[in-house]
Structure 1
Amino acid sequence: MKSKYLHATGDIGHARHASPMRQSRHSMLKPVIVLLLSVGMLLGVPAESIGSDTAASGKGESLQPLVKAKTDGRKEVIRADDKKTISTPAATAKSQPAQQSAGSRHIIEMAGEETEDGLLAYRMVSHRIDGVDVTSRYSPQATIPGPTIVLTEGDKVRLTIRNAVNTRPEQQISVHVHGVHYTILSDGTLKIINRVEDEGAHPQHGTGGRFYTYLWDVAPGTAGTWPYHDHNFETHNGSEDRGLFGTVIVNPASGAVAASNGSSASSVSIQDIRKDYVLYLADDAFWGMEIDSATKRQTPLGVNPALTAGGGEYVRFHLIAMGTYLNRFRLEGYRWLEPGTTQLIQAKNIGPLENHAFTIKALNSASYVNENFSRRLMGMRGSFNVTHGTP
C-alpha cells in the first residue's frame, strides 16, 4: 500500500514500485514521520513543508514569502509555479517565522500620474483596513512625496498600482518597497533585474496590463521606516528622481517606541505621539510630509518645510535619503536615541536610501539642517517651531 506520508514528504515517488525490503524500510519510517508531523503542527509548521524545501502556492495567491536559507549566507527566493530562483542578499530577503501575530489586512490602490509641471507622482486611490475605508486620510491629488502607508507588524497588504501616464504608453510604473517581506513576483522591478517578469503597470491595455498587484507580508522584525519607489519607468533604476517615491512606516507590534527628552530616554506609546514628520533628504532640499496622529490626515509640506509642535508633545521624525550624496542631519539643540542602543546622539550620517527614525519630546524651537558642506551651502535647512513653551 502506498504511504501518503512518503508522498507528502517528497520521497521521489518510489513507494509504488519499491521492493518488499524497501517497503519494509518505509514502514519503519512511518512512525518517525508521523511524530515529525505532530511536532511540526505543535510548532506551527505547515505539514506540507515537513521534509520539503519549498511550499507550493499559486502565483500571486500567498502572502508568505517562499524564502529559505543557503549555506553561503544568502537567501534563495523561489517562485512556486516554475521553480525559477533568484539569489538576493540575506539582509534584504528575510526568512519567515513559523508563527506570526494576527494583524490587519490592507487593500490599497494607488495611481502613478504626471503632474502639471512634468513631474511624476503617486496618488492614493483607495485604502481599506479590515474593510474600513480610510482613503480620506490622504490628499485627493497626486503628491510628492507620495502617500505614507502606515502599517503594524503582522499586517498583510494587497497593493495595486495603476499607470495613468498616458503620454508614455511604452513605459511601466511600479512600486518597489524596502523593509517588508514579499515573493519575487512582488519585487516591482523589470525582468532584467528579477529574471522572472516585468512587474509594473502599463498605461494602456494590451501592452502588459494597466494594473499590477503586489502582496506584502509585514512580518515580525520589519518595524521601521522604509522607502518605496518606482523601479521601471524609463530605466531599470526607475523615476524616483522625478517624484515617484514615498514611505512605509511599520509600527512595532508592541505599540511602543523609545523617546528622548534630551537627557534621558524612555518608552512611550505610539498613541502618545502627536505628530509624525517624514523628511526626505534629496540632493539639494528636504521634502516633507506631516501625519497628524489624532486625525491620521497626511499633509504634503513641500521643500524645507517649517515643522510645528506643542511644548511637551512627542514628535517622531522619519528621515530617508533619496539623493546620491552622504548627508549629516542635525536638529539643533536636541539629542535623541540611536536605534538599538542607549546612546543619545546630536547628529546622524545618512547615506543614499538609508533611513533613520527617532522620537523626541518637543521642548524648544530649533532648526534642522543637513550639515554636509555643499548641501548646507545650498540651503538645506528648515525650522522646528515649538509653541506654548515647556510644560
Structure 2
Amino acid sequence: MVDQNPSFVLRKPLDVAIEERPIPEIKHPRDVLVRVRVTGICGSDVHYWQHGSIGNFIVNAPMVLGHESAGEVLKVGSDVKSLQPGDRVCMEPGVPCRYCSECRAGKYNLCADMRFAATPPYDGTLAKYYVLPDDFCYKLPDNVSTDEGSLVEPLSVGVHVVKQAQVKPGDSVVVFGAGPVGLLCCAVAKAFGATKIVAVDIVPSRLEFAKTYAATGTFQPTRDSTPTANAAKIIEENELGIGADVVIDASGAEPSIQTCVHVARNGGTFVQAGMGRSEITFPITAMCVKELTVKGSFRYSAGDYHLAVELLKYGKVSVKELITGEYQFAEAERAFEAVKDGKGIKVLIRGPED
C-alpha cells in the first residue's frame, strides 16, 4: 500500500477538500484495518458541512466526514479471530469506552466517552482506509451487497427506534417523517409484525415512495390545520380506532411532535427519534391524560447492528430501493449538494478507488 489515505475533510463550514492523510495503524491486537468501498451521506454530515456544528458538537479543527460505510478487511490484529483479509464488512462507526455503567448495561450509545465517526473531534469514515475494533465490523452475508452494507448504519437506527417502541405483532404504527430513517422505521416495524403502518410527511413524492416501500397508508398534513385536527384525520382515514398503538417521530418538526401525542391511543407509546429545535411547545396535558409511554432514541446499542444485518440476510427488510444516487469520491461535494437539495433518498459515494 502506498502511504496515503485520501480523505474528504471539512475544514470549516462550506469549505471541504480531499486531503492525503496517513494510513491509520493497527494499534490494538483486536483492531481491523478496513479498505472503505462505499459511504452513504447522512443529514448530520450535511449539517456539519453547512454549519460546522450540531448542538454542542463544534468543528474546531479539520475533520473527515462520513459515518455510513462498508468495505473490505485489509489487515487484522494478532488477536482477531472472527475476520480475515478479504471479508466484506459494514462498519459500526461509534466505539464506546466499554467500562462505564451505560456500556456494561448494554446501552453503550449513552457512553459519555463515545468516539463517534465524524462527530467532533473524531474523524469520519469517508476515506480510503479506516481502523475499527473487530467487534464493530460485521461480516456481510454473501447475499448482501457492499452498497447495502453501507445502509446498515441507518437501518440500525431504525432497529433501535422500533425496539425502543417495543413494536409487536398486530400493532398499529404511525411514523412522522418519510426520510431515510422514517422509511426504515416503517420497514422494521413491518418486520416486527406491525399490521398497520402509516407514513406522514409534507412531501407527496416521499409518501408515494413510502406506500410502495413499507407503509400500508399515508397522510399529508395541511399547513393550515392544527395538530389535533391532523391527528383526527390520520386516525379516521387509516381506521386506527381510538388511536395508534405506537407513534414515532423521525422528523424533529414541532407540529409533527405535537400531532404524535394526539394520534397515540390511551396507554400507547411515543418514541422521539428526530432531532429538531432544542426546545419546543409540547402537549404535556394530553400526554399525561393518555398516560403515554414516552421515550427518546439515540443511534443504536447492543445487538442493533447484528439484527440489522440479519434482517437483510433473511429478506425481512430491503434497502436497495432507498439508494437513489451515486457519486465517485472525487465528486463528494456534489453528493453533499444533492442531499442538501433533497434529491433522492439515500446518496452513496464510491471509493476512493486505487
Query: Normalised by the size of structure 2, how large is the TM-score?
Result: 0.23
Q: Which has the higher contact order (CA 8 A, sep 6+)?
A: 2
Instruction: Say which one has the larger Rg.
Output: 1
* Greater strand proportion: 1
